[in-house]
Amino acid sequence: MWKFRFMVTESKTESTFGGPAQPLISVSGVRHSFGGLLALDNVSFDVQPGCIKAVIGPNGAGKTTLFNIISGLIKPDEGQITFRGKPITGLPPHRIGKLGLSRTFQNLSLFENMTVLENVMVGAHRRSRSGILAAVLHFPRQRREERETREIALRHLEDVGLEDRADLPVGVLSFGQRRLVELARALASDPEVILLDEPASGLNTWETINLGKVITQIRDRGVTMLLVEHDMSLVMDISDHIVVLNFGEHVAEDVPEAIRSNKNVITIYLGGDFDSASD
């Protein structure tokens, strides 16, 4: 079942006892090299629960590497990631997924020979007790779980506005719709946080505006969003907080209005024209 979680925005991070709220994710001193190339150099920042936090920076800044480290695909050379205060550095991706962290990929990773609904059901199966293999065996409990999984998947297709495409092969959808299917699949695992790697890449203007609305609605239900994105108008419109990377270094972190006028950030983005800095 979709759980409605309390929304705690970045501006409301004081706990009921007056102290700062515990970050949902904490990235601390993360360093990682590929051979001789330093992809991330001592990067630290926190993600507060219930916010949209964007990670921006030019191509090769280390954004996807950072996502791969947070989600367990890469073990960093140095540094720590905590999730709800507990260290998760080096845990395998499926363990991190079970803790409540889900993600989408820069390059779409859908099952082309399956329907839209089946693709989303894969996400929901990650939290079922039986798993996909047991479902294939069709024991009564598995049949019941299968039915529930379909209902969950349909509900999340509704969240992204694609319920009327449920039974179509995913391959016939537009690129923008396929990105929404990936988002619905991430939602179906009932995550506390979703990492979105360039969700607007390849989308037209209308699709991007729609995506922004969908991401904001999901945040408003209390799911924290960590967003890597090159589309600066989308980032500025929907983010609560932004961290900027450049050549693997953390160069700035602030609310969108402050990032927009940050001199270092303006220099990094095309030597001054920040608003046209969309890829």
Ligand X SMILES: Nc1ncnc2c1ncn2[C@@H]1O[C@H](COP(=O)(O)OP(=O)(O)OP(=O)(O)O)[C@@H](O)[C@H]1O
Which residues are near ligand X by CB under 6 A? Answer: 34, 37, 39, 57, 59-65, 106
User: Does 64 help bind Mg ion (rule: CB under 5 A)?
Assistant: yes
User: Is the CB of 56 or the CB of 121 nearer to ligand X?
Assistant: 56
Q: Which does 65 bind (CB under 5 to 8 A by kind): Mg ion, ligand X, none?
A: ligand X
How many DSSP H helices and E strands does the chain contain? 10, 10
Q: Which of the listed partners (Mg ion, ligand X, none) does 61 bind, with a CB threshold of 5 to 8 Å by partner kind? A: ligand X
> Residue of minimal CB distance from Mg ion?
64
Q: Which does 199 bind (CB under 5 to 8 A by kind): ligand X, Mg ion, none?
A: none
Nearer to ligand X among residue 130 and residue 278 (C-beta): 278
176 vs 144: CA distance, rounded Å: 32
State the minimum distance, in angstroms, from the CB of residue 169 to ligand X: 28
- Asked whether position 71 contacts Mg ion by CB under 5 A, the answer is no
Interface stretch with Mg ion, choices 55-63, 123-131, 211-219, 265-273 (CB under 5 A): 55-63
Per-residue contact string for residues 94-113; x = within reach of Mg ion by CB under 5 A: ------------x-------
Which of ligand X, Mg ion, none lies near 128, with the C-beta cut-off 5 to 8 A by kind? none
Spatial CA neighbour of 234 closest among 212, 256, 216: 212
Q: Considering CB distances under 5 to 8 angstroms, the limit depending on partner class, which of Mg ion, ligand X, none binds residue 172?
A: none
Helix (H) or strand (E) holding 141: helix 140-159
3-state helix, strand, coil in the chain (%, to 5): 40, 25, 35
The strand ranges marked E within 94-237 are 101-103, 193-197, 224-228
Pairwise CA distance, residues 99 & 36, whole Å: 33
What whole-number distance in Å separates Cα of residue 276 and Cα of residue 215? 22
Q: Are 112 and 170 in contact (CB under 8 A)?
A: yes
